[in-house]
Chains A and B, each alone.
Chain A
Amino acid sequence: MNTSVPLLELRGISKQFPGVKALDDVSFAVYPGEVHMLVGENGAGKSSLMKVLCGAYRADEGEFFHCGEKVEIRSPADARKLGIAVIFQEFSLVPYLSIAQNIFLGREFSGRFPGTVDHARMHAEAKKLLDLLGLDVSTKTLVHELGVAQQQMVEIAKALSQQARILVMDEPTAALSDRETERLFTMIRQLQADGVAIVYISHRMAEVFSMGDRITVLRDGRKVASLLPGEATPDELVHLMVGRSVDRSYARTFCKTAGEMILEVKDLSSANGVKGINLTVRSGEIVGLSGLVGAGRSEVARAIFGADRVTAGEIRLHAAPHRGGPDKAVAAGIALIPESRKAEGLALIRSVCDNLMLPGLPLAFPNRLYKTSKARQIAGALIDRLRISTPSALRPVRLLSGGNQQKVVIGKWLGSGSRLFIIDEPTRGIDVGAKAEIFALIDQLVQQGAGVLMISSELSEIVQVCDRSYVMRDGRIAGHLSREQLSEESILKMGVHHE
């Protein structure tokens, strides 16, 4: 096995998105028969790099080399030709087709007549793959009947069937049980022995060290280190992921003595996978809810707000029990600033004014008669207060910049009499200046006696802004950090797996 020439090498890859540099001069090589671990905080650039690898994104700058020869990856087809297969976390499976049909979708074996499929051969080939993976299910089973873990295995089988030489996996064990994880690892070792190169993204320290031949650490779109597992301890790796740079731009006066209890959540479980959550938010404090992507933070927010069905537990608002859908929550003074601005936060085709007024309509117009002049006045005041940059209150909100859109999403709750603000990813996709303004605004809210529960994937934000923070892992609260304990490292240590 030739290990001196990398199977695939990326040199100086950069990728710019409006407002963010997702990848900045990243070089990366993967050798045959190696498991290359890719680690980093949320938003460090791992998934961008993965998408460049599989041709879903086109790099702005940089070169690709395959077995030492210069190549181009401009489309998924290019990547496939080079033998690159990606297993995404979101599945690309068809629910009412069988396992075998899914594995060979688009690459069916031709039958006797043109256009027909050779089912017998397809099932036989699929069976071989499933045996290899140790998945003991009939290849004729329809995919929607499988559990998440088994679906993941089918995804892997699909990648294997493409004769992939370079296999990219994004947190493949996230949904797997211990036994299935062990099977996956056995299979990975087998592939390794066959000379397949594996790029493996993980948050779990244990597998990073046990499976990885090499570890590359990304931070803020840059490669900060490439090392061998023996060269660092898990704590040192976390330290590398976080970095030392501490940005003090959102400094605020922290809350010395929190006020009355606003929200009290006891043993809350929801239909969306949240289990036994206990937390409190008091007047005048910003409480963080951190953890890795997929730990169930947004699901907690949605359960409290009534957007997902609560299956067990209790929510108390100002000491009174609360239950019901979003309309009840809004009436009770809860505001939710959702994770996805465009999908859940804004009516994009409607005007800034219309969006700003929506939750506060019953409060502004108690007799249900809508007065345009009054609405303009209220919206105008909010636009001034939030310094939303728009030529007119009547401009469709889709034409605003990301930062201004986010101000609208927050601003629409200022007129609704809310006392509890649940803010999910307040600064996603907006530039630095707008971030500072958003945090100043959140600070203002708590100064006026509101309570804030803030979810953020950017650990530095949690550390700088929050009075204290809960850390989640696997749908549960993994721990609580006071102001003094709060640091990026302490959050990461609590949030990642150390099994």
Chain B
Amino acid sequence: MSDTIIAIRPSAFGAGLRRVPGVAWILGLLVVVFALASRDFLSAPNLLNIGLQSVILLMLALPMTLIIMTEGVDISMGAVLTLASVVLAWVLAHEYSLMFALAASLVTGLVFGIVNGMLVALLKMPPFVVTLGTMGIAQGLALLATDGQSIVVSNSTLEAVYAGSWAGIPQTLLIGAAAYAVTHWLLYQTRFGTYVFALGGNPDALKLAGIRANFYLIAVYAFGGLMAGLAALILTSRMSSGHPTAAIGMEFDAIAAVVVGGTSFEHGNGWLFGTLLGVLAVGALRNGLNLLTIPSSVQVSCIGLLVIVALLIDGFKGKR
């Protein structure tokens, strides 16, 4: 599906093609290494598993790509996802409908996104520290709402979101594909997307053209919050509960996927398909290390190293 969308815009594909080797190389290397190290890695159930596990990450990494393209970052995303999941579980536990719970979760994410965006765009506060602060707030709220315990929900409709399938394809994958398609459409087919490139590349050009740059910058962060709210549905469904530390730190995996995927912190240089590959690379790394029974702690270290290496390569390319 992504192929057809790319075909409409050969420029993105052409520019992308030259960057493919970087991510694809990493992804390919990981696949080869893990295939050799573990017999189960390339089995169909495991590949499906990688896909399923990567969907939540993808839903954070997609908006994170746009945010990083504006020379910003959102490190509150993991905490906001956690809080949204807690909210969703709490609402369900109080016997409201799933639609209502989902709406509450989306609103939670949206509010955090808009607040982040307004602090960054209107007050010109540094994005890293702003979202560090809102991360603390979201984390605190999640703890407060739960008293540090899980909110367990037994709701068959909710469980069906993650476990269910449609025409033989797991629903989770469909949601992930839809999220990718929508983001791709936003970035490459709409004015909003064009202005996202400009926000990082040359915001003065936007102002000279009479565009309200701040509005679009807020919208970018709001989109991030909204996606976190939606991802909360899958997270809660997968765990059948809302836990106050469920997705803490997941924003780092998202940043890793984006950076590995070839999006740069400078000049509005972003590539959405690269992010998809980056997500798969991070997913494969986590899954492969799991199969080799390497503890999740070391996985985190590996991802940290992956980010530093990707940034070094990015910096090296920038210097030439």
Contacts and interface: CB of A to CB of B under 8 A. Distances in A.
A and B touch in the complex (CB under 8 A): yes
B210 A94 contact: no
Interface string B185-199: 000011110100110
Chain A interface mostly helix, strand, loop or mixed? Answer: loop
A141 interface: yes
B269 A111 contact: no
B267 A116 contact: no
A117 B191 contact: yes
Given A92-B208, A116-B189, A97 B269 contact: no
Given A106-B206, A141-B11, A144-B267, A94 B190 contact: no
Nearest to B13: A140
Contacts of A97: 194, 197-198, 201
Interface string A101-137: 1100111100100011101000000000000000000
A76 B202 CA distance: 18
A142 interface: yes
A77 interface: yes
Contacts of A105: 194, 198, 205-206, 209, 211
A152 to B, nearest CB: 15
A92 B11 CA distance: 21
A198 to B, nearest CB: 20
Given A107-B209, A115-B190, A115-B191, A94 B198 contact: yes
A76, A77, A96, A141: most-surrounded residue (chain B CB, <10 A): A96
B202 A94 contact: yes
Nearest to B202: A94
B208 A117 contact: no
Interface of B: 8-11, 14-15, 189-192, 194, 197-198, 200-202, 204-206, 208-211, 267-270
Contacts of B201: 94-97
A105 B216 CA distance: 14
A23 to B, nearest CB: 22
Contact of A115 (B192, B205, B209, B270): B192
Contacts of A138: 11
A117 B191 CA distance: 6
7 contacts: A76-B210, A80-B210, A92-B205, A94-B268, A98-B11, A105-B206, A106-B206
A353 interface: no
A90 to B, nearest CB: 9
B207 to A, nearest CB: 9
B9, B192, B202, B267: most-surrounded residue (chain A CB, <10 A): B202
A101 B205 CA distance: 12
Contacts of A101: 194, 197
B15, B201, B209, B269: most-surrounded residue (chain A CB, <10 A): B209
Nearest to B270: A96
Nearest to A110: B191
A140 B14 contact: yes
User: Which 5 A-B pairs rank lowest in CB-CB distance, beginning with the nearest?
Assistant: A106-B209, A140-B11, A94-B201, A92-B205, A94-B198
A106 B203 CA distance: 12
Contacts of A140: 9-11, 14
Contact of A116 (B15, B190, B197, B208): B190
A76 B206 CA distance: 13
A141 B10 CA distance: 9
A138 B208 CA distance: 25
A35 interface: no
Contact of A142 (B11, B202, B204, B210): B11
A13 interface: no
A95 B11 contact: no
Contact of B269 (A95, A107, A116, A117): A95
A93 interface: yes
B189 A96 contact: no
Nearest to B194: A101
B202 A92 contact: yes
Contact of B190 (A92, A93, A117): A117
B220 to A, nearest CB: 15
B189 A117 contact: yes
A96 B11 contact: no
Nearest to B271: A96
Given A96-B200, A101-B197, A141-B11, 5 more contacts: A80-B210, A94-B202, A95-B202, A105-B198, A108-B191
Contacts of B267: 95-96, 144
B190 A142 contact: no
Contact of B202 (A80, A93, A117, A145): A93
A106 B211 contact: yes
Contact of A96 (B8, B14, B210, B268): B268
Contact of A94 (B8, B9, B192, B197): B197
Contacts of B197: 94, 96-97, 101
A93 B268 CA distance: 12
A144 B11 CA distance: 13
Contacts of B191: 108, 115-117
A138 B8 CA distance: 15
A119 B270 contact: no
B15 A142 contact: yes
Given A108-B191, A119-B9, A140-B10, A96 B269 contact: yes
Nearest to B199: A94
Nearest to A114: B190
B216 to A, nearest CB: 11
Contacts of B202: 92-95
A106 B199 CA distance: 12
B194 A108 contact: yes
A96 B208 CA distance: 18
Contacts of A96: 15, 197, 200-201, 267-270
Nearest to A77: B210
A77 B208 CA distance: 9
B189 A111 contact: yes
Contacts of A98: 11
Contacts of A92: 202, 204-205, 208
A115 B185 CA distance: 11
B89 to A, nearest CB: 34
Contacts of B208: 76, 92
A77, A95, A101, A119: most-surrounded residue (chain B CB, <10 A): A95
A129 to B, nearest CB: 16
Contacts of B15: 96, 142, 145
Given A115-B192, A142-B15, A95 B206 contact: no
A93 B201 CA distance: 8
A78 to B, nearest CB: 12
Contact of A106 (B11, B14, B210): B210
Interface string A82-100: 0000000000111111100
A55 to B, nearest CB: 11
A94 B205 contact: yes
A110 B5 CA distance: 19
Contacts of A94: 197-198, 201-202, 205, 268
Contacts of A142: 11, 15
Contacts of B10: 140
A132 B191 CA distance: 26
